[in-house]
């Protein structure tokens, strides 16, 4: 099983590759299983990939669920389902309260009409009748006000409960869309953001920057995956530090990152150079042993969304630029244009649960 970064020259659809691998292992195409294989294929978690490969052709659903619990401990789907159920219950309770209040107000309105009718029928001839009517109305008004205050208190409590559930849902979504190693957004969040770019005509100043750590496989092979994971986390932090809070940044694969930014060509070039030079200038060494893991550099390619028909085309153009940077000696930046060498690129896939 290879990460997406090793399949640069392949034109096969990622979803088809994943489903093919699942079929070869006899794995049922359930959404939770597809999620496991998806994360393994994009290389976001090498340990997860190794665990799935180790299962071979004997993977049982129990084995896969154990791995899912281990690597996705938040179990976001189940948590969201539970939170949704609680939210539905709270809404049902609020609707019930409102119906009860509506019924009470209808009874009160009927009482007012009946009393008014009785008074008019007597032409206010009886002081005692008026006194009794006022007493009855005062009592009914007091009861209705007390019931209304109770309803308001209950409504406020239910609203607070719903707000708490909403915050939980927001947190679950944040966890589900965050790469656990780098704390950047993950591929799922990136796919959603890319899709949303083209829900409307994107601004001409929107650009996609793809970033790839140079010779990262050599680092992993030489120093091991734990060191590689530390380097990934440091590089992610350096990328984030070079961007504004509003700029979207994600880890999209093993050693691959993406930034969706807005600005002119000069702005994009300056942003890319800030990222490139910051990483190049950072020492990557073990402070305890003195072992130097560097130099660590990155290559960057970017393209603007203008004139792109969809997210796939934007991703493809940025990937062509990135490939050109890699092919030009690495540790450099390339912007997409029609003149640069075209090479087969990775297909972009909007994350979809299957089954």
Residues 288-336 pLDDT 10s: 888 999 899 999 999 999 988 888 889 989 999 999 999 999 999 999 9
Whether 138 and 212 map to the same domain: the answer is no
Kindly tell me if the per-residue pLDDT of 28 is higher than 60. Answer: yes
Domain C-terminal end among 151, 176, 201: 176
Domain count for the chain: 3
Whether 213 and 311 map to the same domain: the answer is yes
- The reply to whether 182 falls in a domain is no
Whether 130 and 11 map to the same domain: the answer is no
Omega of the bond leading into 295 within 30 degrees of 0 (cis): yes
Q: What mean pLDDT is reported for the chain?
A: 76
Whether 207 and 234 map to the same domain: the answer is yes
Domain C-terminal end among 147, 176, 205: 176
Whether 203 and 325 map to the same domain: the answer is yes
Q: Rounded mean pLDDT of 125-142?
A: 62
Domain that holds residue 39: 4-43+45-71
Q: What is the pLDDT of residues 211-261, one digit of tens each?
A: 999 999 999 899 998 899 999 999 999 999 999 999 999 998 889 999 999
Whether 295 and 208 map to the same domain: the answer is yes
Which candidate, 319, 113, 86, places its Cα nearest to that of 212?
319
How buried is 46 (Cβ within 10 angstroms: 0-12 exposed, 13-18 middle, 19+ buried)? middle
Whether 64 and 85 map to the same domain: the answer is no
Sheet holding 298-304, edge to edge: 248-251, 256-262, 206-213, 298-304, 333-335
Kindly tell me if the per-residue pLDDT of 4 is higher than 50. Answer: no
- Residue spans of alpha helices (H) in 177-224: 187-197, 216-223
- Structure confidence at residue 354 (pLDDT): 33
The conformational region for residue 331 under phi > 0 = left, psi -120 to 50 = alpha, else beta, is left
Q: What is the pTM of this model?
A: 0.58
The conformational region for residue 304 under phi > 0 = left, psi -120 to 50 = alpha, else beta, is beta
- The reply to whether 258 falls in a domain is yes
- The reply to whether 343 falls in a domain is no
Instruction: Say which residues have a Cβ less than 8 Å from residue 330's Cβ, sequence separation at least 6.
Output: 214, 215, 297, 299
């Amino acid at each position: 099983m290879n990460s997406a970064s090793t399949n640069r020259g392949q034109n096969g659809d990622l979803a088809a590759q994943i489903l093919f691998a699942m079929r070869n292992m006899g794995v049922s195409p359930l959404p939770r299983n597809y999620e496991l294989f998806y994360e393994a294929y994009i290389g976001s978690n090498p340990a997860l990939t190794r665990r799935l490969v180790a299962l071979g052709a004997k993977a049982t659903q129990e084995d896969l669920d154990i791995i899912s619990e281990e690597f996705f401990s938040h179990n976001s789907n189940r948590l969201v389902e539970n939170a949704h159920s609680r939210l539905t219950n709270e809404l049902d309770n609020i609707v019930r309260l409102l119906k009860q209040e509506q019924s009470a107000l209808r009874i009160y309105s009927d009482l007012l009409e009946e009393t008014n009718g009785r008074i008019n029928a007597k032409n206010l001839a009886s002081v005692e009748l008026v006194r009794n009517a006022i007493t009855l109305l005062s009592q009914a008004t007091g009861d209705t006000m007390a019931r209304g205050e109770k309803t308001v208190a209950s409504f406020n409590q239910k609203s607070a409960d719903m707000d708490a559930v909403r915050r939980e849902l927001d947190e679950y979504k944040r966890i589900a869309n965050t790469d656990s190693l780098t704390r950047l957004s993950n591929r799922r969040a990136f796919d959603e953001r890319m899709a949303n770019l083209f829900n409307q005509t994107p601004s001409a100043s929107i650009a996609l920057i793809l970033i790839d750590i140079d010779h990262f496989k050599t680092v992993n092979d030489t120093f091991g995956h734990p060191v590689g994971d530390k380097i990934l986390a440091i590089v992610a932090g350096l990328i984030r530090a070079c961007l504004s809070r509003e700029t979207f940044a994600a880890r999209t694969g093993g050693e691959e990152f993406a930034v969706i930014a807005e600005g002119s060509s000069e702005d994009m070039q300056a942003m890319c150079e800030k990222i490139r030079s910051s990483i190049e200038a950072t020492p990557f060494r073990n402070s305890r042993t003195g072992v130097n893991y560097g130099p660590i550099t990155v290559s960057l390619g970017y393209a603007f969304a203008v004139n792109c028909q969809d997210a796939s085309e934007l991703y493809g153009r940025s990937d062509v630029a990135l490939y050109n940077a890699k092919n030009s000696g690495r540790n450099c930046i390339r912007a997409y244009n029609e003149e640069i060498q075209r090479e087969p690129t990775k297909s972009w896939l909007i994350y979809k649960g299957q089954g």
